[in-house]
Chains A and B, each alone.
Chain A
């Protein structure tokens, strides 16, 4: 049983393009959702929280689709520095035991 799933990629995307990827979760009671960015051999860093109404932070837009149980991350005008692995994190079941992470989607921005 996979609680949080992501397409591992890699996604090879030309610089300047728009790219989007999804993360599905299994428990409809999940309440909290986040996107993290992880560079090779470094710690995951919080990119943005995902709110029910969707939210935007500069070139990044996060959305939640409760009916289909997935969250998405869209990156506009992609930069070389956006190359990284993007992890989604879900508070499965809305419980008090922290976050469950997906395995990550590897993004490569090509010049």
Chain B
């Protein structure tokens, strides 16, 4: 089954404790992206990747890191999480980032930073 898989689905942690949210897709998609979704603010792009070893900042990259060492994986890293990073996070992928390419989303990761 074609899918985007995020882990964990839920995480409660404390300020400053490094964490990684994994994202994996099995559709051989070139483009992958991370979003956070907050009430009243909608989906905001954190980082995206056009292909292996190519990553770019989205609209809200501060406090986050990503890597794209393999095509299928695009982990989101919070080196020193803070409470303002409490949010619902989605990973998405598409065949490419260019025109006419809808994105497919993972189930989401709900992060709470205390």
Please tell me if A96 contacts chain B, counting CB pairs below 8 Å: yes
Nearest A residue to B98 via CB reads: A96
Please tell me if A44 contacts chain B, counting CB pairs below 8 Å: yes
Query: Which residues from A are CB-within-8-Å of B106?
Result: 43
Please measure, in the bound complex, the distance between the C-alpha atom of A91 and the C-alpha atom of B88, giving whole angstroms.
Answer: 23
The DSSP consensus for interface residues of chain A is loop
Which of A42, A46, A91 is within 8 Å of B104, CB to CB? A46
> Which residues of A are at the interface with B, using a C-beta cutoff of 8 A?
31-32, 34, 41-46, 49, 87, 89, 91, 94, 96-104
Closest beta carbon of chain B to A42's beta carbon, Å = 7
Tell me the chain B residues, 40-78 only, with Cβ under 8 Å from chain A: 40-43, 45, 48, 50, 56, 58
Please measure, in the bound complex, the distance between the C-alpha atom of A45 and the C-alpha atom of B88, giving whole angstroms.
Answer: 16
Query: Which residues from B are CB-within-8-Å of A32?
Result: 99-101
Please measure, in the bound complex, the distance between the C-alpha atom of A32 and the C-alpha atom of B101, giving whole angstroms.
Answer: 8
Q: Are A99 and B40 in contact (CB under 8 A)?
A: no
Known: A97-B48, A101-B42, A103-B41. A43 touches B100 (CB 8 A): no
Q: Are A89 and B40 in contact (CB under 8 A)?
A: no
